Amino acid sequence: MMLAVASGFCFVIVCARCIAVDQAAGHASRVRRSEDSGSAASAGAPTYVGKQVCRECHPQNFELHQHSGHADTFSRSVDSEIAKKFAGKALDAGNPYGVFHYEWGSDGLQTRRAAGLNQDPFSLQYAVGSGRNAMTLLTLIDDTEADAAGIEHRISWFGSHGDFGLTPGHVGLTPQNETELLGNVVRDNSVQQCVYCHTTTGTIVGTEIVDLVADVNCEKCHGPGSEHVQQARQSETPPPFSVGRDRWDFEAELQLCGDCHRLPRNIDPAALREYSAELLRFQPVGMLRSECYLESDGQFMCSTCHNPHQDSKAKSTAAYEQDCLACHQSDSDAHVACSVSPTSGCIECHMPATKFEQGMVFHDHWIRIRDAE
Ligand code: HEC
Ligand code: HEC
Ligand code: HEC
Ligand code: HEC
Ligand code: HEC
Ligand code: HEC
Ligand code: HEC
């Protein structure tokens, strides 16, 4: 059972790398209305054009997206400003790993353990995560046991507290060999999914990613755009592509966002039943058990509160409260209003910011009445 290797960042209950989502089929990874399905593919599959092309005609969405976490989820370490923070440092990962020494080479960041300073440095190939919460280094390796394998490095950078620290999920492990001293080995589906969720497209071949388009860009959510761009160059009113705000469907959106942010089907049933503390970082899982979702007939979805292009922190708490008040008004009987505080403070009482490992903060998306502490 693969759960034995549970480590990791993104997945605590079920390790990030172990979830058996049928993502390879790409079924949920694109914004597309149900009546579109199939039609586009038959006329020769569209290809990826890159976000700079989208920028030409959609500068506003581009600007918003550029400042969101989605625009910075994956890069080569050589291109990562955060990876540079490691260079020249010696960081102690504690027993049994000891001190790691970091230096900057022509391919980016590399490291040596203090116990092996006479050996060749180990290249830390990719920077995963924007660093707002955290950034973890990933190196693809050749592995006789697997088609694809990588090492998730021991030490990460945490924007949450502005310091380095042990990669979450890496506490209390017993490394079996020299390689595991450098980090956790992730194999096959686990490493493929890691790349899937943090990039627009890319295929692991040996120790490289072929056709890599890093980050969660326009075309990860909207699908490859070549056909749309061609049509838009010929006409100012191109045929529908992917979605527009007014004909977007909550089921499709849930599948899209939940493909990476996790759905109940990705979670261990016992953890789900008890709503264990770790689940607060899986927003769709919380949302799906909220009365607001259950009782509002498809009117409650991620984009009720989030512009999918915008950084969630760029919006004020007061603005999120307006989203609540759009439904919960004392002068309307469509929905109940709060008897405790009918016009403000909604988020801190009903979706409180909660500390997670290494000081990372998440907002519990299970909106509910909480017991007074
Ligand atoms: C391909 C995977 C993927 C999909 C699909 C996806 N996300 Fe994300 N999302 C991520 C990753 C990875 C991060 C972490 C970014 C970072 O490293 O800071 C993230 C971060 C976020 C954040 C917090 C950071 C910020 O910029 O505010 C929000 C909010 C968010 N996503 C909302 C959504 C919504 C809403 C949808 C659906 C419309 C969605 N995401 C779809 C992978 C995805
Ligand atoms: C099922 C999709 C998925 C997989 C698989 C996945 N991630 Fe993530 N990752 C996310 C999402 C969504 C976020 C942002 C929200 C969150 O933190 O849950 C994220 C956030 C992160 C962050 C920022 C810190 C944090 O925890 O918010 C790091 C670092 C990270 N992932 C590294 C990795 C690495 C390394 C792997 C594989 C070895 C991996 N992730 C696998 C979806 C995924
Ligand atoms: C995380 C997924 C995600 C990413 C990344 C994303 N979009 Fe969207 N986009 C959506 C969703 C969902 C909608 C429909 C709901 C809405 O507009 O709130 C949408 C709507 C749109 C629309 C029509 C409505 C509007 O806002 O004008 C345009 C145009 C668009 N996106 C362009 C882009 C471009 C350009 C990029 C890249 C810079 C991009 N999108 C990146 C999910 C995404
Ligand atoms: C040459 C200009 C041009 C380029 C380049 C372009 N678009 Fe568009 N796009 C348009 C026009 C025009 C519309 C229709 C009017 C509108 O909704 O703004 C549109 C509409 C959209 C819509 C809403 C579709 C609908 O049916 O309502 C989305 C989503 C979108 N574009 C995404 C993208 C993405 C993603 C890219 C990059 C791959 C891109 N566009 C590149 C011009 C362009
Ligand atoms: C009722 C409003 C609401 C809905 C619906 C909603 N969110 Fe949020 N979300 C918030 C608020 C408020 C924050 C905290 C923003 C801040 O940092 O001030 C947040 C923060 C986030 C973050 C950043 C990490 C965190 O937990 O603080 C992610 C990722 C996220 N939401 C994803 C989603 C996804 C995916 C969906 C749909 C499944 C969704 N949200 C639905 C209100 C909402
Ligand atoms: C799309 C409409 C909608 C939005 C937006 C919305 N809710 Fe609700 N909410 C509902 C519905 C429907 C119910 C069920 C009771 C009712 O009909 O009033 C509900 C119930 C609740 C309950 C009672 C839950 C329980 O377990 O008894 C709370 C608390 C709540 N909402 C808080 C919020 C907060 C806080 C926000 C903003 C972060 C919010 N809601 C946004 C529709 C919404
Ligand atoms: C100080 C904490 C606090 C704040 C601020 C707060 N609430 Fe509440 N809310 C509660 C408590 C506690 C209850 C349960 C009251 C009871 O059972 O009598 C509640 C009940 C509710 C209910 C269910 C009412 C019912 O009769 O079933 C809704 C809906 C709700 N709140 C929405 C909101 C919204 C929207 C906001 C922001 C405008 C908000 N709350 C602000 C603590 C708060």
Is any ligand 7 atom within 6 A of the Cβ of residue 311?
Answer: no
Select from 218, 255, 301, 307 the residue to mutate for testing ligand 3; criterion: most ligand atoms less than 8 Å from CB. 218
Give residues with Cβ within 8 angstroms of 263, minimum separation 6. Answer: 254, 255, 284, 285, 288
For residue 219, what pLDDT is reported? Answer: 96
For residue 309, what pLDDT is reported? Answer: 97
Domain shared by 206 and 59, yes or no? yes
Q: How many domains does the chain have?
A: 2
143, 149 Cβ separation under 8 angstroms: yes
For residue 313, what pLDDT is reported? Answer: 96
Decide which of 218, 237, 255 is a domain's last residue: 218
Domain shared by 48 and 193, yes or no? yes
Domain shared by 177 and 279, yes or no? no
For residue 16, what pLDDT is reported? Answer: 34
For residue 333, what pLDDT is reported? Answer: 86
Domain shared by 211 and 287, yes or no? no
For residue 31, what pLDDT is reported? Answer: 53
Domain presence at residue 335: yes
Domain presence at residue 256: no
Ligand 5 — pocket residues by CB below 6 A? 257, 261, 283-284, 287, 302, 304-306, 312-313, 317, 320, 323, 347, 351, 362-363, 365
Domain shared by 59 and 177, yes or no? yes
97, 164 Cβ separation under 8 angstroms: no
Alpha-carbon gap, residue 40 to 23, rounded angstroms: 20
Residue stretches of the chain with pLDDT short of 50 = 1-29, 32-42
Domain presence at residue 249: no
Decide which of 178, 202, 218 is a domain's last residue: 218
Which residue's CA is the closest to the ligand 3 atom numbered 40? Answer: 218
Domain presence at residue 207: yes
Which residue's CA is the closest to the ligand 7 atom numbered 10? Answer: 340
Decide which of 177, 199, 218 is a domain's last residue: 218
Domain presence at residue 11: no
Q: How many angstroms does the Cα of residue 301 sit away from the middle of ligand 6?
A: 12
For residue 358, what pLDDT is reported? Answer: 87
Domain shared by 295 and 211, yes or no? no
Is any ligand 4 atom within 6 A of the Cβ of residue 308?
Answer: no
Domain that holds residue 308: 274-363
Give residues with Cβ within 8 angstroms of 67, minimum separation 6. Answer: 310, 311, 314
Is any ligand 3 atom within 6 A of the Cβ of residue 72?
Answer: no
| Ligand 5 atom at minimal distance to the Cα of residue 315 | 18
Domain presence at residue 23: no
128, 135 Cβ separation under 8 angstroms: yes
Which residue's CA is the closest to the ligand 7 atom numbered 23? Answer: 338
- Phi then psi for residue 126, to 5 deg, are -125, 145
Domain shared by 190 and 288, yes or no? no
252-297 per-position pLDDT tens digit:
899 999 999 999 999 999 999 999 998 999 999 999 999 999 999 9
Domain presence at residue 137: yes
